[in-house]
Amino acid sequence: MSDEEKRKRAITARRQHLKSVMLQIAATLLEKETAAKEAEKANYLAEHCPPLSLPHSMQELQELCKKLHAKVEVVDEERYDTESKLQKTTKELEDLSQKLFDLRGKFKRPPLRRVRMSADAMLRALLGSKHKVCMDLRANLKQVKKEDTEKEKDLRDVGDWRKNIEEKSGMEGRKKMFETSES
């Protein structure tokens, strides 16, 4: 092996080693993070949800139900408040993004529909009652009469080739061929 190949192999080995060390460090950090989340969750539950002790008498059970009901109401009020705040902030965000679009000058263009309108109607729409000129563009076009040439007349006289073949097919067509050739 040459020195160049040895150097390349050493570089790739070092890269592999560094990559494996980074992966090990990342794995330990992930484990620590999940353990911290679990501990935080346990602390929160211990703080906000004390262990349930069921009383034995009916009156104590009713009081416990009233307390739980009051806590549920408080949580519902907080949830409603956070939902209303969220809706308010999303509306503000939409308004701000619309203002930003307006400031940039990029508007959403609606799809345009094709409108059939004559030139006279366009001028009337633009000029109003001042419009007196008639813009009939087709009237100004020249009309060209097509003159029949002799070749076209001959082609029309010959007719369609399919008719000729149909006439000549069968015994009657052969009779006609003989009759025309004799005369």
Q: Where residue 104 falls among pLDDT bands split at 50, 70, 90?
A: confident
| Residue type at position 179 | E
Write the pLDDT tens digit of every residue in 17-75: 999 999 999 999 999 999 999 999 999 988 888 777 777 888 888 898 999 999 999 99
Range 25-28 contact pairs with CB under 8 angstroms and sequence separation of 24 or more: none
Domain residue ranges in the chain: 1-51, 54-105
Entry pTM: 0.31
- Reading the block at residue 115, the tokens are 């409108």
- Reading the block at residue 77, the tokens are 């009020």
Quote helix, strand, coil % in the chain, to nearest 5.
75, 0, 25
Length of the chain: 183
DSSP 129: G
Instruction: State the Cα angle at 40 between 36 and 43, rounded to 5°.
Output: 140
